[in-house]
Amino acid sequence: MAEYEPTATLDVRGQNCPMPVVKTKQRIDELDAGVILEVLATDPGSMSDIAGWADTTAGVELVDQEEGDDIFTHYVRKTEQ
């Protein structure tokens, strides 16, 4: 069991680049600091796209990524308002 618990979920399954990142940014902007957003995606490119976005965006932290058979799960924490 992970030591973090997502408090919100965003389902972008079936959407391709750049929509997983665009939708993740939109949803993160709506959340309070400290919230962990779980993002469910089917686009394999989302692994590098969301990681790159989080690395270059102030106020967010990529907590973890999991690669399943057909689904890629990302955990992004909003670190500041």
Kindly state the average pLDDT of the residues 67-74: 95
Whether 17 sits among the annotated catalytic residues: the reply is yes
Distance CA(60)–CA(70), nearest Å, equals: 26
User: For tokens 């690669």, what's the residue?
Assistant: 67
What is the CA 60 to chain-centroid distance, rounded?
Answer: 10
Confidence of residue 73 (pLDDT cuts 50, 70, 90): very high
Decide if pLDDT at 5 tops 60. yes
- Say yes or no to pLDDT of 1 above 60: no
CA pair distance 30, 80, nearest whole angstrom: 12
pLDDT the model gives residue 2:
58
Q: Confidence band (pLDDT; 50, 70, 90) for 80?
A: confident
Say which of 8, 17, 22, 47 is annotated catalytic: 17
Mean pLDDT of the 21-27 span: 98
